[in-house]
Homo-oligomer: A and B are copies of this chain.
Amino acid sequence: MSKKGCCDSVGECFFDYYTSKILVIRSRKVGTLNRFTQALVIAYVIGYVCVLKKGYQDTDTVLSSVTTKVKGIALTNTTELGERIWDVADYIIPPQVDRRFDEEEVQARRLKCQLTSLVPPPSRTGRCVNYNDTVKTCEVLSWCPLEKIVEPPNPPLLADAENFTVLIKNNIRYPKFNFNKRNILPNINSSYLTQCVFSRKTDPDCPIFRLKDIVEEAEEDFQTMAVHGGVMGVQIRWDCDLDMPQSWCVPRYTFRRLDNKDPENNVAPGYNFRFAKYYKDSDGTETRTLIKGYGIRFDVLVFGQAGKFNIIPTLLNIGAGLALLGLVNVICDWIVLTFMTRKHHYKEQKYTYVDDFGLVSI
């Protein structure tokens, strides 16, 4: 024992191979239980973690750039404006963000206005009063007349807008994997693109969307929504498995209403905003057309996750799986030594006891 029991030198000891002494219990019951539990763990690790959840992959989130282009012409006929054609430059405010507006109001700024008294907001009238014998001006120094508070027009001014189409160009990048792709897929040709319209069933890859379709897929009604305005989310999901051919990595479009149409816990329901066009008369008087637009804003939300084989998450998951296999042994040990009829017999063989006084009982 003496010579062999301790190493003469570190080097000698270093290349010893240490392996556990094993008790083999030739019991079909516990053996079956053991193998069955092991099989479960292995099936979980391979089946669920690796195959279903792709635990062997490193992931990255998408980086995205979107440009949009709206097409469509609407004809309106109102008493204030008469018949009128609206084109893209008229109804997209600001350029390159998709919005429609519906209501218009004209105001003239009276810079000659005398501010006799700045009446506090609730009672401000905006009515025209005599400034001197010849000139009538506003009671407050503001744009005159004050904005009328009116309900938005119903039916909405640009009811035709439901047939407008919007082309969405989306370029994505997964920086970790140096992977770029566009939502106009390589298998699509130009002639198809000039005439297609997105349809979930027949044209799922067409990047041109009819506004009405977008709203309908979100289970809303375009005409109802257009009255007070609203915000629609155009969600583009890019979930890509980069271990597979690149052609499998395609965008999925879904549509969802983003604002709250429930009038209960809401403020400023719908979607509207004010902006003005400014004019100058020949005598230098500035006038403006104040426009309160009730519009449907389309927010393009791009998200997604790409996965690609990477050794670190793979080994992390294998390591965790092995540790769980170790747990199987602990459980089987516990069953064998607690419930089996011959447990005392097994214990005798498995355990050797030694105490502080060096007494050993095998």
Neighbouring B residues of A299 by C-beta, 8 Å:
65
Neighbouring B residues of A279 by C-beta, 8 Å:
278-280
| Interface presence of A201 (CB below 8 A) | no
| Interface presence of A214 (CB below 8 A) | no
B26 touches A353 (CB 8 A): yes
| Interface presence of A171 (CB below 8 A) | yes
**A100 shortest CB reach to chain B, Å:** 13
A333 touches B19 (CB 8 A): yes
CB proximity to B under 8 Å, residues A6-33? 6, 14-28, 30-32
CB proximity to B under 8 Å, residues A66-81? 67, 69, 73, 75
Q: Which of A24, A49, A266 has the most CB of B within 10 A?
A: A24
Neighbouring B residues of A83 by C-beta, 8 Å:
113, 115, 141
Q: A14-B35, A15-B35, A24-B351 are in contact. Are A190 and B324 (CB under 8 A)?
A: no
| Interface presence of A156 (CB below 8 A) | no
| Interface presence of A210 (CB below 8 A) | no
| Interface presence of A203 (CB below 8 A) | no
Which of A88-96, A128-136, A215-223, A243-251 contacts its partner? A88-96
Neighbouring B residues of A233 by C-beta, 8 Å:
65, 171, 173
| Interface presence of A322 (CB below 8 A) | yes
Q: A17-B332, A354-B24 are in contact. Are A301 and B173 (CB under 8 A)?
A: yes
B189 touches A231 (CB 8 A): no
How many Å lie between the Cα of A281 and that of B321 in the bound state? Answer: 79
A4 touches B353 (CB 8 A): yes
Neighbouring B residues of A281 by C-beta, 8 Å:
280, 282
Q: How large is the interface on A (under 10, 10 to 19, 20 to 34, 35 or more residues)?
A: 35 or more
Neighbouring B residues of A358 by C-beta, 8 Å:
342, 345
Smallest CB-CB separation from A55: which chain B residue? B312
A274 touches B95 (CB 8 A): yes
Q: A31-B17, A49-B312, A90-B276 are in contact. Are A24 and B182 (CB under 8 A)?
A: no
**A327 shortest CB reach to chain B, Å:** 6
How many Å lie between the Cα of A258 and that of B171 in the bound state? Answer: 6
29 contacts between A and B (CB under 8 A): A5-B344, A5-B348, A14-B35, A16-B24, A16-B26, A17-B24, A17-B27, A20-B20, A20-B21, A26-B353, A26-B354, A26-B355, A27-B355, A49-B312, A63-B303, A67-B297, A87-B143, A87-B274, A89-B290, A94-B94, A94-B95, A167-B268, A169-B268, A173-B233, A187-B265, A279-B279, A279-B280, A319-B321, A319-B322
